[in-house]
Amino acid sequence: MLRAAVAQQREDEVAGELRWLGETLRMAPELVPLLADPRLAPEQKAALVDRTVGRQLGDLLRGLLVLLIRKRRCAALPEIVTAYDRLYHRLKGVAVAQIRVSRATEPALVDRIRRQVERATGKRLDAEVVVDPSLIGGVAVRVNGTLFDASVKHRLNMLRQRLRHVRVV
């Protein structure tokens, strides 16, 4: 899919459509099992796709959906969305990051954190911000499996570990 999109210089457009489709599938989880149901004829499934998501998708993605319907591979759709996103980010030199903060944070601060992590990793970030009160304070950033943890929770855990090994004489 990515190869076809790149050949037509439409990889950004397809990435956006796939993100939208992925979000739609998360919001309507009954859609994938319905498309994978062998009791429905492929024509019925194609009509369902046209009625529900077809107008939002370009010809490349509609063609993929029709192919998945014909080959009875609709159950693989969520994995296809994830795989395309991962390959797309690699192509664009972008790392996917999750920035966890203890409370709602000003966009300017999140942007400063993102820039610091970009400098540290040498990659641009596509960052998702998640509020996680269990951090107590500070921030924890996960980039492609690497965790940069400057949270109060982490510091307290480290202190607890050190204190366990202290001998009082």
* DSSP annotation of 143: E
37 vs 15: CA distance, rounded Å: 27
Assigned fold of 2-89 = Peroxidase; domain 1 (1.10.520)
Taking the whole predicted model, whether its pTM rises above 0.75 is answered as no
Sign of CA pseudo-dihedral 140, 141, 145, 149: negative
- pLDDT of the chain, 169 residues: tens digit per residue: 999 999 999 999 999 999 999 998 899 888 889 888 999 999 998 888 888 888 889 999 999 998 999 898 988 999 999 999 999 999 999 999 999 999 999 999 999 999 999 999 899 999 999 999 999 999 999 998 899 999 999 999 999 999 999 888 8
Query: Tell me, what's the pLDDT at 49?
Result: 85
Cα dist. 48→52, 64, 66, 102 in Å?
A: 6, 15, 11, 42
For residue 101, the cross-strand partners are: 131, 139
Domain boundaries, the chain: 2-89, 94-164
- Could you tell me the maximum CA-CA distance found in the chain, to the nearest angstrom? 80
135 CB-contact burial (10 Å; exposed 0-12 / middle 13-18 / buried 19+): buried
What does the pLDDT read at residue 50?
Answer: 85
